[in-house]
Structure 1
Amino acid sequence: MIQILLAAGIALAVSIMLTPILIKAFSKQGFGQEIRTEGPASHQAKRGTPTMGGVAILTGIWAGYLGSHLIGLGMDNAEGPSASGLLVLGLTTALGGVGFLDDFIKIRKQRNLGLNKTAKLVGQFVAAIAFGILALQFRGDDGLTPGSVHLSYVRDIATVSLGSVVFIAFCYLLVSAWSNAVNLTDGLDGLAAGAMSFVLGAYVIITFWQFRYSCETNPGKGCYDVRDPLDLAVLCAAGAGACIGFLWWNAAPAKIFMGDTGSLALGGMLAGLSITTSTELLMVVIGALFVAEAASVVIQVAVFRSSRRRVFRMAPFHHHFELAGWAETTVIIRFWLLAAIASAIGLALFYSEYLAALGG
């Protein structure tokens, strides 16, 4: 528990102190955000706001994760970095690297388009495939690997076995879906960072619960066959702390944007966590806001191509409410509430499944 608190505290401190340094440095270098012309007119005033703030989030996550482990070396029962934690952190960083290139190209060419779709998909593909392959390695003393070839809700669904090849392809689907979903959500000041704080906070509870009732240390009904849940809790805490620290400067009116550097990295983190905690289906509930944002784009494109009509005034659908007359801060706060409600429902489902398994 101390390591979890340390990870959150260190990540928050690093993120909240590094972000204003980045704001000054990026402003001096002219690393400003380009705003798409077809977006809401009110957003044009944001042109030139420093971007690539995801660097602060990634730095905070690394500092919180490694710092908590270094301090924990002198503590009793403290655990070092694990295969699961490092794999998720590696996936997060790799996706952050893809996003950094995307942001940098936008800045250099002074346009709202960075990497082309093919280049971005290749980056996501390489990171996801590498993660999927490695997730089936590093078998622990208990025989568990970071990933499982079974589809999972709160634990493995034994009757649905994907096989190694399909599992790796499934990893790519999740990484691509979640990274793009968070990227689409990052369209209003602080929206993605605030929503991620709720989701990662929920996963701190989930992973710590999995550690407390793991089949290795507490065998019996309802126990969880998840490798390294405590280390994943430390990583989730670091991610939540880094997002909250960044949100201090990213909240409306934003002094800096996370850019694709942050949104792709955080989306990759969600995908990695869903796989290593055996909660791929539950993540759809906890991250429902991101799912809804991505779905609004899919629906808008599909309906427009088939009927030349629009379901929403603009997609992603947070812009729909802006164009309907809601103030930006109203949209943000209400969407944060939706993210909090989704996280609470996800936790309730997680706990109810535990009770059902215990009773069974």
Structure 2
Amino acid sequence: MNPNSPWLLLLVFIGCAIVSTLLCQVARLLFPKFRSGEHKPGTHRADLPTGKREIRTIELPLVGGPAFTLAIIGVGIASGYLLDFSLDQWILLFISLGAMLGYVLVGFLDDWRKVYRNEGLSEIAKFSGVFLVGAIAAALYFYLLPQSGQISYSLWKDLPILNTFLCPTPIAHHPEICSVAGNPVAYYGWLIFLMLMTGVIGSLTSVSVDFSDGLDGLAGGLVFSASLGLGIVVTGLVGTQPNGVVLEVLALLGAGAILGYLPWNWPSAWAARRGHATRRAKIYMGDSGALGMGGLLAMIAIFSRNETLLLMIGGAFVLEGLSALISARVLTRFFRRYLTILRFAHTETFVPHTEFPLPFLATPLHHHFDLLGWDRRRLVYAAWALGACFAVLGIMVSLVPFSWQRYIGRFLIILLAILIWSSGSWSKNYFVGKHLVAGARRYRLALYYGYPFRIMGLRLYHLVEVVEASEDVIETPAEELALWQRMTIFDARAMLGLYCYRAGYYPAAQAQWTRIPERNRILRPEIVHLLNELESQLALEKQETQPIRRQDILRKKEEPILEGNLPPADLPNPYEPVSEEESHSGPLQIWTTNTPDYPIESDDEELRITTPLNGEVLVSKQTKELPNKENSPSTNNRTHTSRRQELPKK
């Protein structure tokens, strides 16, 4: 049988998927407690449960990466015998698999420290490790395969400075490549350049894949599309170059291994803070799997001389890596040192980085949309579709025969990347506006994110939630002008809380203000003062209406149990909509006599509580009329109403 037969390659792909699935199951059964205990810093994690209760670990076993790595190595060696590889092909296969194994070992060391020391490798140590692995792989490729390793090629040999010593002997009839053998300057110059290039590309690719491994199934789906894309691109080398079939096998091994792993890490809408959706994922790939698959993609691209094409096919990884690098490593440090926010210029209070004009709410990029409250399953599916689009456009750039078609493909890739990147600045700012609720006679105040515009009927904004306060609480023209103006989420929450407080919806005001993290709240001292006053009154009212019983005083309060990768619970997420439980049932009756007489709602109008993120409005039952003061039974049985009590006019 022809060793280049597509049926044999298909058999390699299917076999790797089956073996990967079986090994993931075995690893899950043998090592169920190999879970990360690392504490990741931050004021919020979307997968944290809320409430002061016992917290169980949410981490999954970090065994997916080692499992499908063994599948790739085993099926890869078997495919070498099946396809009857030559000596050079075996060398290239072992160099690629060895490089992948080196990346996996660096990631496994990081996972091991997370499990048993609760802290992974430092960023410098991890980057140095993967860089060293890539450099060693390049040196082996250079010395053990001189027919391909000692050949400089475009784009690198055509660069203005490098072309003087990387292309001393052009090869006849092949102007795109040059031999460096026989010239010491070109020989060692190309060796050093190849090691640096492989180390940098391998490091950036593996770390970018690691960044994308933040949601169930996200990294796996993106790696699958990138592996298939590279596999389609290198099919042109099969039969024309001896190394082509090896690179094709490596690409199919990567895609097949991920296909077998994905059923164990399938995305779902699960998040511990949001509802009770069933979590379908059972294991993680961990840093070992993410770094290993990123390194394998880099080796395929470099050995097939498609480094620039990897940027196009792996465009989703580029966005993930750039978002973390630019926002967290460049802009945050630059703003911390040189930026002065005039609003806080006269305060000595520490200004957190969340007040800086950063392009995203959080990085890597998928965390930005997760904080916005997007359904996680749909978010991952959208990321998969984005990765598939980048892969298809990259394949088009590689295979189309005409230059103008390649330029169109590159333009579309850049345009798509710009659109995704700009979506961060579009959705990071919020504004307070008005929203007409069905069944209500007045506009309610609402929280939105995006731009307060419509273009040809297309909304550039998204409704987050509707609060209880109506437009009647707005007193001055300045407050009216402040509506529909883009601002940070912290200012928007402060404004909504103030309007709820003014309208008499005190629990709703408390819910809005407590959503602001403390570091951001202390920069707004007026809100801190009102919140302290409000909480004091709430505590007094609770003590009057619900006296503490003797057994409650004697009962010892138990601290919540924190296990696994969990920062302290109950930290606020200002981007999530306020739930019905947080807003309670409206203002307390004891305070209604001290509030201004705003006609919030008429007696025959239905009340609507804070809406969830999907915009559906929940209708509460009409509240009954408050009993007259002389007919009320006692102060201990005061009723909590969801609207203000009408005050007698003077």
With the shorter chain as reference, the TM-score category is 0.7 to 0.9
Q: Report if the CA contact (8 A) 1:52-1:103 is conserved.
A: no
Which structure 1 residue ranges, 5 or more long, are not aligned? Answer: 217-226
- Contact 2:221 2:262 survives alignment (8 Å): yes
Q: Which residue of 1 aligns with 2:35?
A: 31
> Residue 157 of structure 1: CA displacement?
5.9
CA distance in 1, matches of 2:90, 2:21: 27
| 1:221 alignment counterpart | none
Report the identity percentage. 27
Residue 216 of structure 2 aligns with which residue?
189
- List aligned pairs for 1:83-94, cutoff 5 A: 83-94=91-102
Compared with structure 1, are the counterparts of its residues 88 and 22 closer, same or farther at alpha carbon in structure 2 (3 Å cutoff)?
A: same
Could you say which residue in structure 2 is the equivalent of 1:70?
81
Alignment of 1:177 onto 2:181 = no
Contact 1:6 1:68 in 2 (8 A): no
Shift of 1:32: 4.4
User: What secondary structure sits across from 1:278 in the alignment?
Assistant: coil
Give, in whole Å, the separation in 2 of the partners of 1:329 and 1:3: 35
Shift of 1:120: 1.9
Question: Greater CA radius of gyration, 1 or 2?
Answer: 2
Structure 2 residue 69 is the aligned partner of structure 1 residue 58: yes
SS in 1 for 2:92: helix
Q: TM-score, normalised by structure 2?
A: 0.48
Which of the numbers 245, 265, 284 marks the counterpart of 1:230?
Answer: 245
Among 331, 334, 342, the residue aligned to 1:303: 331
Q: 1:123 aligns with which of 123, 129, 137?
A: 129
Q: Output aligned runs, 1:191-230, within 5 Å.
A: 191-212=218-239, 214=240, 228-230=243-245
Q: Residue by residue, what CA displacement relative to the aligned partner does 1:240-298 show, whole Å, maximum 9, x if unpaired?
A: 00001001101123210000010010111121111101001111000000000001012
Maintained 8 Å contact 2:36/2:111: no
Q: Which protein has the bigger helix share?
A: 1
| CA distance in 1 between partners of 2:231 and 2:281 (Å) | 27
Asked if 1 retains the 8 angstrom alpha-carbon contact of 2:215 and 2:380, the reply is yes
1:120-156, Cα deviation, whole Å (9 max, x unpaired): 233223211211111212346xx333x743354xxx7
CA distance in 1, matches of 2:283, 2:331: 34
Aligned partner letter, 2:115: I
Q: C-alpha distance in 1, partners of 2:254/2:98? A: 13
Q: Which has the higher contact order (CA 8 A, sep 6+)?
A: 1
Aligned residue among 148, 159, 162 for 1:144: 148
Counterpart Cα distance in 1 of 2:296 and 2:19:
19
Provide closer, same or farther for how the CA distance between residues 355 and 87 of structure 1 changes in structure 2, counting only shifts above 3 A: farther
User: Does the residue aligned with 2:48 lie in a helix, a strand or coil?
Assistant: helix
Report the secondary structure of 1:144's partner residue: helix
**What is the rounded CA distance, in whole Å, between the counterparts of 2:304 and 2:370 in structure 1?**
36
- Aligned residue for 2:35, secondary structure, equals coil
Report Cα offsets for 1:15-71 as digits up to 9, x if no partner.
1111122112221x4434646352753323672311131011201211221222233
**Higher share in strand:** 2
Give the number of equivalent residue pairs. Answer: 331
1:176 Cα deviation after fit: 1.2
Correspondence for 2:385: 337
Among 245, 248, 263, the alignment partner of 1:248 is 263
TM-score by length of structure 1 reads: 0.85
Q: 2:10 is matched with which residue: 5, 15, 23?
A: 5
Unaligned runs of 5+ in 2: 1-5, 50-56, 167-189, 268-279, 337-355, 405-650
Q: Secondary structure at the match of 1:300?
A: helix
User: Which residue in the other structure is 1:219 paired with?
Assistant: none
Match of 1:224 in 2: none
Aligned-partner residue type, residue 249 of structure 1: W
8 Å Cα contact 2:226/2:314 also seen in 1: yes
How has the CA–CA distance of structure 1 residues 35 and 57 changed in structure 2, closer, same or farther, with 3 Å as cutoff?
A: farther
Query: Once the 2 structures are TM-superposed, how far is the Cα of residue 167 of structure 1 from its aligned partner?
Result: 2.1
Tell me how far apart the structure 1 counterparts of residues 225 and 64 of structure 2 sit (CA, whole Å).
19
